[in-house]
Amino acid sequence: MIVRQISWGVLLNKVDKVTIRLTPQQAAAIDSLVEGEGFKNRSDVIRKAVDTLTIGEMPPDPNEVRVVLDDWVAMALHGLVGIKRYQNMDTAVSEMLKQQLLSMNVDEIKAQIEWLAEWGESMRTAKEVFDHEVKKVSDYVRK
C-alpha cells in the first residue's frame, strides 16, 4: 500500500511549476502507479519520488501493511481493477482482506487457542494459530 506524503508547500498552496521530459517508458511507469497504486495524478507520483530522494521515507504508519502477493493473486486483482470492480490495488487488497476476516469463525479460533493452552502447548502462540487458520483458508481458496 502506498503511503502518501504531502510537502508543506502543497498544503499552503504554494508550489513551483516544473516541466520535465520523460521517455515513453517512464511516463507509462508513472501512469501505472496512478492507475494501480492509488495516486491521484502524475504530479503526486513525482512529488512522492522527490520527497523520498530528498528527505527519505516517512516513518511507517501502524495501520499500513505491506503485502507480497503470489503472481496469480496479483494478476487476478489487477484484472478486477482493470474491469473497475475496485478503484485500485490498495482497495482490492483491503477489500479482500476484510472479506476473508469476516468469513473466519472467531469462536472456532478462540476454542483452538483455549484447547492448546489446556493441553499445555504454550509454545504455540495465538498468532501462530491465527496464521495457521489463514493458511488453511488461503490453501482452500487456491484449490
Nearest to 90, CA basis, from 115, 104, 69: 69
Same domain, yes or no, for 50 and 75?
no
What cell numbers appear for 135 in the block? 493458511
65 found inside a domain: no
- Give helix then strand counts, H and E, for the chain: 7, 0
25 found inside a domain: yes
| Burial category of 59 from C-beta neighbours within 10 Å (exposed 0-12, middle 13-18, buried 19 and up) | exposed
Q: How far, in Å, are 64, 110, 131 from residue 118 at the CA level?
A: 35, 12, 20
Same domain, yes or no, for 76 and 136?
yes
Same domain, yes or no, for 117 and 81?
yes
Instruction: Give the span between the Cα atoms of 15 and 46, in whole angstroms.
Output: 13
**What is the rounded average pLDDT for all residues in the chain?**
76
127 found inside a domain: yes
Confirm if 124 and 109 have CB atoms less than 8 A apart: no
80 found inside a domain: yes
Owning domain of residue 90: 71-142
- pTM exceeds 0.85 for this model: no
Q: Taking residues 120-128, what's their average pLDDT?
A: 62
105 found inside a domain: yes
Q: Residue 125 carries which side chain, given as an amino acid letter?
A: T
pLDDT in tens, 77-110: 889 989 988 888 888 888 888 888 777 777 777 7
The one-character DSSP state at 17 is: -
Same domain, yes or no, for 14 and 75?
no
Domain count, the chain: 2
Nearest to 36, CA basis, from 77, 69, 66: 77
Q: Taking residues 1-18, what's their average pLDDT?
A: 54
